[in-house]
Amino acid sequence: MLKPLGDRVVIELVEAEEKTSSGIVLPGSAQEKPQEGKVIAVGAGALLDNGQRGEMEVKEGDRIIFSKYAGTEVKSDGNEYLILRESDILAVLG
């Protein structure tokens, strides 16, 4: 299992077919291409200047939209994950 550090989040990519069925269409953009994913694991939060950790806004199981070129790809046991910072997550699909 992957336990992300700081304000990082481990994401499982949601396939394009799945995206269509949920009615979300994400158009290509020259600047940043959003994508959909599912949160698998959440870090302890960024270290603040007062020594505490900032509360994370996302939790395991959240469906999120993030910037396409953000994060680092990792494969584990046949699954493809993405490790990114919470600041690269644009919104949660509620």
Residues engaged in binding a second copy (CB under 8 A): 1-6, 8, 10, 23-27, 29, 31-32, 34, 41, 44, 46-52, 54-55, 57-58, 65, 67, 69, 72-77, 83, 86-87, 89-94
For the bound state, the minimum distance from the C-beta of residue 89 to a second copy, rounded and expressed in Å, comes to: 5
Tell me whether residue 15 or residue 45 sits nearer to a second copy (CB atom): 45
For the record, the structure tokens of 19 come out as 């995206």
Q: Is residue 62 within 8 Å of residue 56, measured between CB atoms?
A: no
Pairwise CA distance, residues 39 & 4, whole Å = 11
42: closest CA among 82, 92, 3?
A: 3
CB of 81 to a second copy, least distance (A): 9
